[in-house]
Amino acid sequence: MNATVVGASGYSGRQLVSLLIQHPKINLVEVTSRAYSGKTVESCIPNLRGKTKGLAFTNPSIEELSKSPECELFFLALPHGTAASYAIPLLEAGKKVIDLSADFRLLTPECYEEFYGTPHPSPAWLKKATYGLPEIHSFTWEDSPLIASPGCYPTSILIPLFPLLKDQLIEENDIVANSMSGVSGAGRTASEKLLYCERNESASAYGLPKHRHLSEIEEQLSLAVTNKIIISFHPHLAPMNRGICSTISARAKVGSTRKQVWDCWNDFYRGRKFVHLLEEGEFPDVSHVVGTNRIDLSVNHDSRTGRFIICSAEDNLLKGAGGQAIQAMNICQGYDEGEGLP
CA–CA distance, 309 with 249 (Å, rounded to integer): 5
**Residues 70 and 90 sit within 8 Å (Cβ to Cβ):** no
**Residues 276 and 205 sit within 8 Å (Cβ to Cβ):** no
CA–CA distance, 221 with 205 (Å, rounded to integer): 23
Q: Shortest CA distance to 238 belongs to which of 191, 186, 288?
A: 186
Beta bridge partners of 4: 30, 74
The conformation of residue 246, written as its DSSP 8-state character, comes to E
Return the SS3 of 294: coil
Q: Shortest CA distance to 155 belongs to which of 186, 173, 172, 179?
A: 179
Catalytic residue among 44, 71, 111, 152: 152
The conformation of residue 69, written as its DSSP 8-state character, comes to S
Residue 44 bears catalytic tag: no
**Residues 103 and 84 sit within 8 Å (Cβ to Cβ):** yes
**Residues 273 and 326 sit within 8 Å (Cβ to Cβ):** no
Active site residues: 152
